[in-house]
Structure 1
């Protein structure tokens, strides 16, 4: 509990920002769903065939898994807020449309006949009779939709839309219950608060009408603001994104400081925890972001998808990645930093001293004594344990497959004595582990470097010059230590990044 409260206090502004992002995405989606669903139900209320057809279509959309729907939208509209809003809007249409359509259809026919007898037009009947009677049911649909939106919006973090889902993703990745609690508690509290508010509003017609008018005003205001933005001169901005985790966030904060130091007029926006390689690369292609740090080995294997074995020489790997990106995607890959963030095998200090093991080649003689804890992918892939068995002659006595977040806990608790990981993982320092030397260079090089579109690099030579200050800097131990400060000691990534830049005289 102390750790949780300390984290909340240290990151209160970041938490507030994530909460506001979550609320913004949810409200925009709700307003759009209301604007679409209610008029559609009104138009189709006297057309049973089309009305029922609308219900069926809305129901089919709801059967599509939200992550699948987000994935389908990425090639069409890219990543970030837009696909998240579209997905949430589509999910919210069903309950609002269904309740509005049902409420209007269930108005007593005798009341409609009486209204016609008094000479009321269809518009007046809707305004004075049908809509007021259906309003409680309509608000109930809006209430269901809003709670659904708030819960589903946590998945928006997977495509870089931000919100409370960022904390849930970080909690899962780092096995940090404090992050999970922040994301989960705030999401649940927000859903409960909004549900209670809408229930309160639905108990009075005046309150209900006020709520609908407020939603309409919000929708018109948002639309007007967006139109205003379109016609305003756009200042030159730089958008830098990073993958999930502490290391990318440290790097993008370094990029930001270096750029702003050399050009105080630069307007740099950071998008930390923006997603995985695929999301970031597509965002760069669509110019939704301008820069993000990528690893040389990842470029060859995940982006260029080379079938040949990745060279063990870091310089050759970088040159292949740089040339491939330029030829296939017209992208500029700047010079890499010194550190490697590749695969490793780590053991406890006690195991290393007991069996005199410091290199991977020395593991073969103690095969029977090894109880390994491996990530599911690493245990079954050629560039993981399967390849290591052939190159180093490994055949461990016992191998337990477990989720990545649990491996380090397992070795810390003595459940296993060897784990796979990455060379800059903060848990290596946290649990005082020994990383075994890859003395036959089995693992491919993974050096980080800024990736940007060639057109952006050509237009902004000063930014390229600023980023190149990190070329050849940051050792593996230094990156590991910075990750430890952010992930374990919960310091702000921007503070850790700033300290490094000042210490190494890259900033005044």
Structure 2
């Protein structure tokens, strides 16, 4: 229900803004054909921009979250509303307008009493088209942390769970049908009744959405996580230990928030308060590492350097890491690897022309990913396709690819009987998970830091693989898996 109200709040807000922009513009330009044609062409061009590209272009200017999603949806809604309003007004029989003028009607009175009522069916048709388009496109808002039903779609893809994907897709389609039918129903009523009904709907949805975002008695701390079961488990652990240690705060979780760059941007702009990060990712993607330090270090040195550079460059603090490492790995089907005699990454070179790879886009673009494999191993695979994390496992299971990137704690390694190849030239740096937060937040919340430090040195690699397996394969809830681990390790008491 929370996702539905988030979806509706974004969609209907975008629709309202688009109406307030497009309808007055169409009215002003209804008698100026040349300018109107230019505007129509411009809005048509805007609608051809792929939604993902548009969101990516907006992020540097307005950050992530609801704002860029709202702007993108408004842009997509402008064309059908403007076009239909303009056509509806420009195609009114000139004799009717002449008759209105003969009765002495002013320009405004003629517009309100004659032109808009006659054009209303076309205007409403454009609004209905825009609404269906917005509700469908709003599922992409989940990619940049704006929530909504797209969260279920992303989660379903990531966990290879079609039921979750269907929940998001079907609910989104049903919302589009329900509100399209509602607009059609109100179209047959008087404009006063329609306006009152729409006002009640907007206020009701807005009120519920605002209530969901508001905590009256306690301070709210927002924790976000990357896509996947492991970040989901970790943020639930963070939530439990914080709330068990400090009764004056409540924790809001934003699971499946997006990729590393989105989370880091959200943390810098104070849209979130903390998220689990990895020491190797900090050095490879988030900070500028001095040339003298640009080498593989021990896990301890990697953490110390990452924390030091985060403090110097961003006034952020990476707390003491957990025990396990979730480093990058290169995986193959056990049967294929044994058939070709491949046990380490350097063995791939002898077969590089015949092997097909399915890598995540992030891995392809990283120096500690495929770029590094090309430089350090002299490896150039015959075919490299980019794909979402969960899809690469489906691809190797179906035989569509032979080699994929993985994380060393992925449950799918066990589930699909894959083998990870030895990194015999030590390309991949240490990756230990740890909470990342702003320096000012850490100073203002010592009890939160104290609570999170209870996780330091906990969770070995086998435990993380098992927890991921429970979520991805056994379909247990991340919150339940996190809670059971904390109780078993006596980090919290059963009653918490």
| TM-score (normalizing by structure 2) | 0.85
Identify the residue that residue 65 of structure 1 maps to in structure 2: 50
Identify the residue that residue 344 of structure 2 maps to in structure 1: 360
SS of match in other structure, 1:491: coil
Match of 1:288 among 263, 268, 271: 271
How do residues 313-462 of structure 1 correspond to structure 2 at under 5 angstroms? 313-346=298-331, 360=344, 364=347, 374-376=357-359, 383-384=368-369, 403=387, 404-409=389-394, 412=397, 419-436=404-421, 438=423, 441-462=426-447
Identify the residue that residue 73 of structure 2 maps to in structure 1: 88
SS of match in other structure, 1:119: coil
Deviation at 1:182, TM superposition (A): 2.8
1:62–1:460 distance in 2 versus 1, CA, 3 Å: same
Q: Distance in 1 between matches of 2:132 and 2:197?
A: 18
Q: Does 1:159 align with 2:182?
A: no
How do residues 251-330 of structure 1 correspond to structure 2 at under 5 angstroms? 251-306=234-289, 309-330=294-315
Gaps of 5+ in 1: 1-15
**Count of residues in Structure 1 that have an aligned counterpart in Structure 2:** 488
Q: Distance in 1 between matches of 2:457 and 2:143?
A: 31
Match of 2:177 among 179, 192, 211: 192
Identify the residue that residue 40 of structure 2 maps to in structure 1: 55
SS of match in other structure, 1:424: coil
Q: Does 1:142 align with 2:142?
A: no
Deviation at 1:119, TM superposition (A): 3.0
Instruction: State whether residues 31 and 216 of structure 1, in contact with CA within 8 Å, keep that contact through their aligned partners in structure 2.
Output: no
- Deviation readout 1:184-211 (Å, 9 max, x if unpaired): 3333333333334434444x253x6644
Identify the residue that residue 238 of structure 1 maps to in structure 2: 221
Q: Does 1:106 align with 2:88?
A: no
Mean alpha-carbon deviation: is it higher for 208-217 or for 84-93? 208-217
Q: Does 1:475 align with 2:460?
A: yes
| TM-score (normalizing by structure 1) | 0.83
Mean alpha-carbon deviation: is it higher for 138-147 or for 102-111? 102-111
Instruction: State whether residues 240 and 483 of structure 2, in contact with CA within 8 Å, keep that contact through their aligned partners in structure 1.
Output: yes
Q: Does 1:131 align with 2:116?
A: yes
Mean alpha-carbon deviation: is it higher for 211-220 or for 190-199? 211-220
Instruction: State whether residues 349 and 380 of structure 2, in contact with CA within 8 Å, keep that contact through their aligned partners in structure 1.
Output: no
How do residues 172-191 of structure 1 correspond to structure 2 at under 5 angstroms? 172-191=157-176
Q: Distance in 1 between matches of 2:315 and 2:143?
A: 26
Instruction: State whether residues 371 and 418 of structure 1, in contact with CA within 8 Å, keep that contact through their aligned partners in structure 2.
Output: no
Instruction: State whether residues 348 and 434 of structure 1, in contact with CA within 8 Å, keep that contact through their aligned partners in structure 2.
Output: yes
1:478–1:101 distance in 2 versus 1, CA, 3 Å: same
Deviation at 1:487, TM superposition (A): 1.5
Instruction: State whether residues 312 and 443 of structure 1, in contact with CA within 8 Å, keep that contact through their aligned partners in structure 2.
Output: no
SS of match in other structure, 2:490: coil
Identify the residue that residue 9 of structure 1 maps to in structure 2: none
Mean alpha-carbon deviation: is it higher for 296-305 or for 280-289? 296-305
Gaps of 5+ in 2: none
Deviation at 1:168, TM superposition (A): 2.5
Instruction: State whether residues 19 and 164 of structure 1, in contact with CA within 8 Å, keep that contact through their aligned partners in structure 2.
Output: yes
SS of match in other structure, 1:499: helix
Deviation at 1:212, TM superposition (A): 4.2
Identify the residue that residue 19 of structure 2 maps to in structure 1: 34
Q: Distance in 2 between matches of 1:449 and 1:129?
A: 65
Mean alpha-carbon deviation: is it higher for 185-194 or for 84-93? 185-194
Instruction: State whether residues 238 and 266 of structure 1, in contact with CA within 8 Å, keep that contact through their aligned partners in structure 2.
Output: yes
Deviation at 1:477, TM superposition (A): 1.2
Instruction: State whether residues 370 and 417 of structure 1, in contact with CA within 8 Å, keep that contact through their aligned partners in structure 2.
Output: no
Instruction: State whether residues 23 and 85 of structure 2, in contact with CA within 8 Å, keep that contact through their aligned partners in structure 1.
Output: yes
SS of match in other structure, 1:87: helix
Deviation at 1:473, TM superposition (A): 0.7
Match of 1:248 among 231, 234, 240: 231
Match of 1:118 among 81, 98, 103: 103
Instruction: State whether residues 379 and 401 of structure 1, in contact with CA within 8 Å, keep that contact through their aligned partners in structure 2.
Output: no
Q: Distance in 2 between matches of 1:126 and 1:217?
A: 27
Identify the residue that residue 13 of structure 1 maps to in structure 2: none
Deviation at 1:466, TM superposition (A): 0.7
1:368–1:63 distance in 2 versus 1, CA, 3 Å: closer
Mean alpha-carbon deviation: is it higher for 58-67 or for 412-421? 412-421
